[in-house]
Structure 1
Amino acid sequence: MRLRSLFVGLQTLIGVLIAALLIQVLLVQWQQVTRSDEGLQALRQFKLLLVSAEMASRERGPANGVLGDQLPADPGKQERLKQARARADAALAQVQQALEGQPLVRTPVQQAASQLSRARKAVDALAAQAPTRREAGALHDAVGEMFKVIDHLEPVALKLADLTVQAYPELADDITAARHAADLRELAGRLGSQFTPAITARRVFTPAERLEIERLRGRIDELGKLIDLRTRYIETHAACINAAQTMQADYFGDAARFIDEQVATGSGDGAFKVDTAQFAARYVPRMDAIISLRDTLLADAERSAVEKYEGARRQFALLAAGGLLTLLLLAGTVWLINSRVVSPLLSVTNVISALTRGEWPPVLNVGSGFHEVAELQRSTDVLRQMSLDRQQLEQERQQLIEQLRDQSNTDFLTGLPNRRGFYALAEHHLISRLRDPVPLALAMFDLDHFKQINDQHGHDTGDAVLQGVAEVCAKLCRRGDVVARYGGEEFLVLMRQCSLEDAREQAQRLRQGISGLAFTGTDGKPLRPVTASFGVTVLADDDTDVQAALARADAALYGAKRAGRDCVMTMVP
């Protein structure tokens, strides 16, 4: 093979190798740019969704005012309701436009809009009746219809939050805290709505109303602590901490005291000194601090996401420019070697051949060396190392995403699956049941008088009780059963290959194990025995999810509460 042919083959091989490495590096970087862009869009859609949920929640305030109004209706209250509805419609329309082309997340938003329309019809129908004909049950149902709007939007918020965190794992604290703030605003709004029937009728709370108010207040306090915990670990946290402090002062201070006053009235003689409109005017503005914290967190997250996205784009441009420069350098090197090495060698060959034939040798053009080959080798090694580094970064990033996904499914206090983790495991069991039909049982239990433990002995003692209960459940439950902390002091146990009677016996064992625990308060004195009430059911053959079973177990649990607590009640499908 002649030297020139060998050189052409080698330079072609080297050119293809460098181009392949360059394309690989650019593809990896372009994927990073794409993921960053998708994450940024998901973050902005998440922000719009939370605003739409807020607007739908804010509509309940004027709606409650209208439901508590006399006839003829107050034009001012009607106008405020009309404006609130217009804002909610505009926010939902903006979200649907942003989610165009994404049916999996856009459809629930459309369902939320339809649900809002139905809820408005229920509110308008009640408001048209005389105040004396507005029954408490109908008021609760009307407000409950508005609650369902948020229930439609919540899965979309979780999906968009997950997409954002997958693209920007470092924003997990910001996104989670913002979602907690949005949940806090919604629960605060629902808490305010619980007062509407009693204030409208000027009566004391029903037991169900009082129970729901206490439940909501407990959940609100829990979210407040979670938000405080999250904001402590956000790197650029000065503005977030200021917003959190403002929220503590406005909502957990002023608004909480106002709610205490109304709870005292509703638990006493029912002689409320405010109507529903006045209640909203005093209570709703204090919730603005929650929204301010949410917006501060989202603004901080969006700023960080934009910076990372722009950085990814700049890095891609630099890599593309560097790759182009490398190709130009390769072409120059090939030309240089050809002109200074190959051509001189061919000239020498021609001279020698001419001499051996006895001919007159041509003029010999002498080259100046071949050190450019080392430069080409170093350039190729740089490209290879860049590709290896990029692959290592991608692997570490994937591991971090998996770690964050596991953490998001686990309750940090007990180590048990949280609500989200439970739903994922339950879905896995339901899918397995399609292939191998086996009976599934579900137990829901609640620690009796747990709030008194927190109030009398502090949350550290309460946390110790929750951890002890989790350890007993893990010890007594069978391998393959799913034990989860559903929220607060509520736990769930999903049992495979288990009939209703077997599940009841297992619940009795758990109840006895819990009542056998011994705890010591902060004063060193032993606590009274901790007991739990259980509701047990089985999944029907046609159950495609656990929602119906959860509702039955919850109803059985409340039956256990009504039966005196520290017992097990069952309910068949």
Structure 2
Amino acid sequence: MSLNRLFRLISIALLMLFLALAISLVWIEWSIYQNGANSVPALRNFRLGLVAMEKLSAERGPANAYMGSRPGERDALYQQLKAARVTSDTAMDQLRDALEKDPTLRQSPMFDRLRTVQQALGPARAAVDRIGLQPEDQRTTLYVVSAVNGMVDMIPVMVRLTAELASIVDQSDPDLRDGLAGVRAAASLREYAGQIGSRFTAPLIIHRKLNSDEVIEIGRLYGRIELLRSLVSAQLASYSKRPEFARAIDEMDKQYFDNGFQFLDYLLQVGLKSGDYGITPAELAARYVPQMKSILDLRDLLLDDMMVRAEQRNVQARNFLASVIGLTIIACLFFQLLMYMIRKRVVRPLVSATDLVVGLVDGKLDQEIPKGKYDDEIGGMMRALRVLKERILERNSLAKEREALITQLQTSSNTDFLTGLLNRRAFFSYGEQQMAVAQRYERDLSVVLFDIDYFKRINDSYGHLSGDAILRGVAQTASQLLRKVDVLARYGGEEFIVLLPESDLAQAQAVAEKLRAALAHKDFEIDGGQHIRISASFGVAALVDGRGLEQLIKLADTALYVAKEQGRNRVATSA
């Protein structure tokens, strides 16, 4: 019997056996998908996200209380605020650790959103601290509202993050969709409930009536809360027959929608009429925040129930997998009987050839490919593998040469040959990306444009080689003084440009002044071993709504012209 015919007969038998095994494995994978085998870790991450958002939201209570503190209670309230911040940071760090452990989540936008929130916490908290340290008569509505909004503005980012985590849970186990929607509605309900309390912070601190904008915003939040209340009830319709959920819903209605809303209505009426509230922000937090605990209790009850259901499905999946493993063992015993018939002529050479193919695919090109012992299909495969190895070696060599050439071309096209900095084209390419990010997320962005004073005199007096040395020295000095995120480029001739992400006009002006002083006090060595000093003039402009990158550069250029007109070696700004 020829090897081909023998292999065909055994292939039929293997096909029948492994077809059953493949169907079983496919069914297992389908069951895992349907029953949410991956839903438990996804639920844990989702819960960490909700807790992080909740703790960040809860931090507003002590923050509002501290901003409205009086000298006698300031220290005690600040200690409470510090404790709340530690709790928020711990929750954020736990979520960050969970995202970092999952390679897919670590590379997702969720990780960037969390990092954005953590970076924004510093300035927001600093604004709260400044107001808390001010005397009561110096606290203004503008700064209080700005500080409150600074803490509130981070919540939409956290909402998007938790929504993405919820989407992963939904994909893992669609049967949890109703509970998932209820949890998200409860979390949103708690957040909007907290925001209503925050809207009274400024009036309580300044001791004034509510203005029209605050009344409208409170009314809008009222509407959202009522809508979420209906949504929670609708999503929990299937849970309402269970006693623990019925009690939790009743407790939420009693504690928050009865007691909490009555308190808010009282404050609203006082705010509309007299503004004489009779309570401080600390007393507001002490009376109002506990009323929201029932919302969190309902949320946690739903999460616990979803976790139990997901774990039950995992147990079912494991039991099903065990039964398939038993079937696989039986199939393997039968497979051993068939393997005995063709072990010498087919299996061993085929396994060897397979290992060689896998090795070639994995890049193990140093392995030796033996000659076939028989003049058959396996021998032909070995000869083909030797040819394939030679072709792969040739292809890899050509690919390396091509990649090296591409890298060299990319580097030369983006780099100024003299200074080693980005050139003008590369700067605009990167700058447009940063501009889009800054405008989308409403971040600060500034541009510093500077050039060397009297550079033509240097070229005329010392030669162009000396001028080139000065340009390289300026590039090196400026690069050492900038952050890693800042972008320094040669704009043309003796002009340089700096892009400063996350920097407002004042910060950019400080950077420009630092660069100006460093250049003015540095001795630059030129050809012939001489040392000379130079100065530079700087123009600074910051991003304002509606401006594009070119407009920003034009403003910086105008400011640079002003610096030149005012005597050079100075920094000028453009509003």
2:227 alignment counterpart: 222
**1:17 offset after TM fit, Å?**
3.0
1:265 alignment counterpart: 270
Deviations, residues 497-520 of structure 1 (Å, cap 9, x unaligned): xxxxxxxxxxxxxxxxxxxxxxxx
**1:4 offset after TM fit, Å?**
13
2:255 alignment counterpart: 250
Residue segments in structure 2 that go unaligned for 5+ positions in a row: 101-105, 341-544, 549-575
**1:175 offset after TM fit, Å?**
0.5
Aligned amino acid, residue 126 of structure 2? K
1:193 to 198, 221, 224: 198
1:121 alignment counterpart: 126
2:51 alignment counterpart: 51
SS in 2 for 1:99: helix
**1:27 offset after TM fit, Å?**
4.7
Deviations, residues 550-572 of structure 1 (Å, cap 9, x unaligned): xxxxxxxxxxxxxxxxxxxxxxx
Distance 1:130 1:5, change over 3 A: closer
1:391 alignment counterpart: none
2:453 alignment counterpart: none
2:69 alignment counterpart: 69
- Contact 1:53–1:150 (8 Å) recurs in 2: yes
State percent identity of aligned pairs.
29
SS in 2 for 1:313: helix
2:115 alignment counterpart: 110
Distance 1:19 1:291, change over 3 A: same
SS in 2 for 1:233: coil
Deviations, residues 380-411 of structure 1 (Å, cap 9, x unaligned): xxxxxxxxxxxxxxxxxxxxxxxxxxxxxxxx
The alignment's TM-score, normalised by the length of structure 1, stands at 0.55
- Contact 1:231–1:241 (8 Å) recurs in 2: no
The alignment status of 1:304 with 2:305, answered yes or no, reads no
Distance 1:541 1:89, change over 3 A: closer
SS in 2 for 1:271: coil
Distance 2:153 2:31 in 1: 38
Distance 1:542 1:162, change over 3 A: farther
**1:118 offset after TM fit, Å?**
1.7
**1:109 offset after TM fit, Å?**
0.9
Give the 5 Å matches for 1:29-428: 29-30=28-29, 32-33=31-32, 36-71=36-71, 74-100=74-100, 101-234=106-239, 237-329=242-334
- Contact 2:37–2:313 (8 Å) recurs in 1: no
Distance 1:58 1:221, change over 3 A: same
Distance 1:177 1:284, change over 3 A: same
Tell which deviates more after alignment, 268-277 or 56-65.
268-277
- Contact 2:53–2:155 (8 Å) recurs in 1: yes
1:498 alignment counterpart: none
Distance 1:14 1:235 in 2: 55
- How many residue pairs were aligned? 339
**1:90 offset after TM fit, Å?**
0.1
**1:104 offset after TM fit, Å?**
2.1
- Contact 1:33–1:313 (8 Å) recurs in 2: no
**1:51 offset after TM fit, Å?**
0.3
- Contact 2:37–2:317 (8 Å) recurs in 1: no
2:469 alignment counterpart: none
Give the 5 Å matches for 1:428-447: none
Aligned amino acid, residue 201 of structure 1? I
SS in 2 for 1:232: coil
2:431 alignment counterpart: none
Give the 5 Å matches for 1:394-543: none
SS in 1 for 2:69: coil
User: What RMSD over aligned residues (CA atoms) do the two structures have, in Å?
Assistant: 2.9
Aligned amino acid, residue 55 of structure 1? K
Distance 1:174 1:237, change over 3 A: farther
SS in 2 for 1:78: helix
Distance 1:281 1:73, change over 3 A: closer
**1:32 offset after TM fit, Å?**
4.8
Deviations, residues 33-85 of structure 1 (Å, cap 9, x unaligned): 47834332221111000001110011000011111112365222111101000
- Contact 1:262–1:272 (8 Å) recurs in 2: yes
SS in 2 for 1:10: helix
Residue segments in structure 1 that go unaligned for 5+ positions in a row: 336-539, 544-573
Distance 1:31 1:236, change over 3 A: farther
- Contact 2:190–2:296 (8 Å) recurs in 1: yes
1:15 alignment counterpart: 14
- Contact 1:165–1:172 (8 Å) recurs in 2: yes
**1:290 offset after TM fit, Å?**
0.5
Distance 1:236 1:40 in 2: 25
Distance 2:50 2:2 in 1: 70
SS in 1 for 2:177: helix
Distance 2:5 2:190 in 1: 74
Aligned amino acid, residue 168 of structure 2? L
**1:330 offset after TM fit, Å?**
6.4
Aligned amino acid, residue 207 of structure 1? S
1:459 alignment counterpart: none
- Contact 2:33–2:173 (8 Å) recurs in 1: no
Deviations, residues 274-303 of structure 1 (Å, cap 9, x unaligned): 111111100000100000011011111111
- Contact 2:33–2:172 (8 Å) recurs in 1: no
Aligned amino acid, residue 57 of structure 1? S
Distance 1:107 1:34 in 2: 28
Distance 1:68 1:8 in 2: 85
Aligned amino acid, residue 69 of structure 2? D
Distance 1:238 1:333, change over 3 A: farther
**1:130 offset after TM fit, Å?**
1.2
SS in 1 for 2:153: helix
Distance 1:276 1:542, change over 3 A: closer
Distance 1:328 1:283, change over 3 A: same
- Contact 1:173–1:234 (8 Å) recurs in 2: no
Distance 1:330 1:17 in 2: 11
